[in-house]
Structure 1
Amino acid sequence: MTTDNTTIERTGIPVTASAARDVVRQLLGSGDRYARSTTLTDALLVTSELVTNAVRHGGGVASFSAQLRDEATLCITVADHSVEFPRAAPPARDYAPGGYGWPLIRRLCDVVTVAPTPTGKTVHAHLRLV
């Protein structure tokens, strides 16, 4: 859905990280300037981590939105059902799974905010594309 001349938005509630990545991939396009750089890879990684965190730690995805603003910034919003804010857990010494997602999100994004909602929280992540 186009909300004005500079913002394109896709919404819905993906139940898996894969479905959310498909939304972002479609939003950014498969043949344009983002697809041939690490930018698309970073955007898909951030999307996967946000949705996976909502599913694993937040009781599921309550809402999802991906916006492309001015063709320069991808804004991903994921709401879940947990009031607990994300926190970086130290990775296991044996490199076992867990503890990597939130630091990756914060490192790759220019802006990351978390806001409480009446039924959980919403994470807003902005990733500069150019």
Structure 2
Amino acid sequence: MDQRTISPRSPSARPGTDLSCAEARDTVRGALAELDAPARWCEDVLTVATELVSNARRHAGGVTAFRVTADCGAVVVEVSDASARPPVAEPWAPRTPGGFGWRLVNDLADSTDVHVHRHGKTVSAVLTPGPAART
């Protein structure tokens, strides 16, 4: 099992300023590189990681920890932030920008979990390469 973890590099940095969506995607690509995984599924994993990091940066003050655990059966993406407020699925509003990230994460992931703790929360998404990803 390959585990990759990124946390803020400098204690003086503001939470979230060290980890960009592009860095999260690079980390996920590295974790997926040694798996012979379907390309469509890998794109779903990259999308979920991007949305979770983007939501933490936009709504929760930034990312405090980012972890990807990958093996041939599943990928777990975990994003922590300093806010205890759980993500909310906004009502569908096609003419309003944004508001679809958490809904998208839940559509693409096999399961999601929000764990609130004394330092904020950790949002986890589990993705497995099901039959739809193999097409």
TM-score of the superposed pair, with normalisation by structure 2: 0.82
Distance 1:125 1:117 in 2: 17
C-alpha contact 1:11 1:64 (8 A) present in aligned 2:
yes
C-alpha contact 1:86 1:102 (8 A) present in aligned 2:
yes
SS in 1 for 2:27: helix
Matching of residues 1-130 of structure 1 within 5 Å? 7-13=1-7, 15-29=19-33, 33-34=36-37, 37-69=39-71, 71-94=72-95, 96-130=96-130
Distance 1:22 1:93 in 2: 30
Q: Could you say which residue in structure 2 is the equivalent of 1:4?
A: none
Q: Which runs of 5+ in 1 are unaligned?
A: 1-6
Q: Which runs of 5+ in 2 are unaligned?
A: 8-17, 131-135
- Structure number with higher strand proportion: 1
The size of the alignment, in residue pairs, is: 120
Deviation at 1:104, TM superposition (A): 0.7
**What is the RMSD computed on CA atoms of the aligned residues?**
1.6
Deviation at 1:53, TM superposition (A): 0.6
C-alpha contact 1:17 1:51 (8 A) present in aligned 2:
yes
Deviation at 1:117, TM superposition (A): 1.2
Deviation at 1:81, TM superposition (A): 0.8
Comparing 11-20 with 120-129, greater Cα deviation is found at 11-20
Q: Could you say which residue in structure 1 is the equivalent of 2:14?
A: none
Distance 1:37 1:74 in 2: 14
C-alpha contact 1:91 1:98 (8 A) present in aligned 2:
no
Deviation at 1:93, TM superposition (A): 3.8
Structure 1: 4+ residue segments shifted above 4 A? none
1:16-41 superposed Cα distances (whole Å, 9 cap, x missing partner):
111000000011018x532x521111
Identity level (%): 37
SS in 2 for 1:59: coil
1:25-72 superposed Cα distances (whole Å, 9 cap, x missing partner):
011018x532x5211110100000000011001111010100013x11
State the one-letter code of the partner of 1:27. A
SS in 2 for 1:99: coil
SS in 1 for 2:105: helix
